[in-house]
Amino acid sequence: MSLPPATGAVELGSFKQHVIRLLTQSKRLDGRPFDSIRVPHILYENRQDTKINRVLASTLYTDDTGTCVNCIVTGVFGPPPPQHPEEGRLTVEVTAPFFPGYSAFQIEGTLHELARFVRSTIISCLDLTELCVISGEACWVLRVELIVMNADGGLRAATLHAAVAALHNLTLPKARLPSGDVVESRCLCFHRIPVAATIGLCGTAGSMQFLLDTNAAEESVADVLLTVVIDETDGIVSFLHHGRFPLLLPHLTDAIDMVASHGAALRSAILKSSNLPQ
């Protein structure tokens, strides 16, 4: 479940063999150690005509090797969902327009899975009742659109970090309902802030190698892929595992500890810019 790596003019099979050969020598393509992460950088954008475009927040997520995700949050008023009248609505869309057209069918399932993952993780960390305006009648409908400009592995973590950076401390503006009621300005806050990382496992000669924060080439050769999402207290928010063979419990706990050791760095990188204006 990953977007195909950008191999340039090299055939994908030869590229995989090259990556496998590097991994047997305990090397990675970008020269990182096996237990290091690519620290994200978040660029915030303050557009001048926010009222016209309904854009509430816009962030650009990048890391050192080229993953680039643009997150745009728009908000309108709408009716609440019938099964939860006291909650607001949150929709997430993930698009990757800059991939070649012949792989559009291949990556569509990946993007849908990404959107479901980001939405479920955000809903578990965000109180949707804060988006309620009038119970049963009106609520904020937030639309999070994630545009994957460049993909270099770790897409779940990248899209989740971009969305969390855009939604944390988001100011819902003062607005007027069609009925004439004035809705006051409100600040959206997470009650726990999730950070995520993708871990790849390669089984070579019976020994298990952990690759923290895999890139696209490593994801194409890894036997097992894990995505771990934790909060500030190192509680597990979400855990995804898929691969060719099952894992034992010590492998899972080692993976969680590996992500937890970098949780503070990831969280400060995501929320660093939003603390400065306050």
Partner 1 sequence: MKQNGGRETPDGVRYPHIALDVLGQCHSSACVELGNTRVICAVHHPQQLVDEYRGSRGRVACTVRRSASAGSHAAGSAQPSVVTPEKDMSLALEGVAEEVVILEKIPQLLVEVVVEILAEDGGVWDAVATSMSAALVSGGFEMYDLFSACGSALLSDGAVVLDPDAAEESNAQASALVCLMLNSGDICYARHQGSCEPGTVLELVSSAMKGCLSRKSAITTQLINHPIL
**Which residues in this chain contact partner 1 in the complex, by CB under 8 A?**
6, 47-49, 52-55, 66, 68, 70, 72-74, 76, 93, 95, 97-102, 143, 145, 147, 149-152
**Tokens found for residue 158:** 């990248």
Q: Cβ 233 to partner 1, closest distance in Å? A: 34
Cα(85)–Cα(212) distance, integer angstroms: 41
**Tokens found for residue 10:** 């090299």
Q: Cβ 267 to partner 1, closest distance in Å? A: 26
Question: In a 3-state reduction of DSSP, which class is residue 207?
Answer: strand
Q: Cβ 155 to partner 1, closest distance in Å? A: 13
Token pair 């620290």 is found at 39
Count of C-beta atoms within a 10 Å radius of residue 269? 19
Give burial (CB, 10 Å; 0-12/13-18/19+) of 109: exposed
How large is the angle between the packed helices 263-275 and 155-167, nearest 10 degrees?
30
Contacts of 229 by beta carbon, 8 Å cutoff, 6+ apart: 121, 160, 194, 195, 196, 236, 237, 238, 239
Q: Cβ 69 to partner 1, closest distance in Å? A: 12
Residue whose CB is less far from partner 1, 122 or 258: 122
Q: Residue 171's beta-bridge partner residues?
A: 187
8 Å CB contact between 161 and 109: no
Q: Cβ 96 to partner 1, closest distance in Å? A: 10
Q: Cβ 253 to partner 1, closest distance in Å? A: 35
Residue whose CB is less far from partner 1, 106 or 261: 106
Residue whose CB is less far from partner 1, 115 or 224: 115
Nearest to 70 by CA among 100, 101, 47, 103: 47
Residue whose CB is less far from partner 1, 47 or 191: 47
Residue whose CB is less far from partner 1, 12 or 264: 12
Residue whose CB is less far from partner 1, 17 or 53: 53
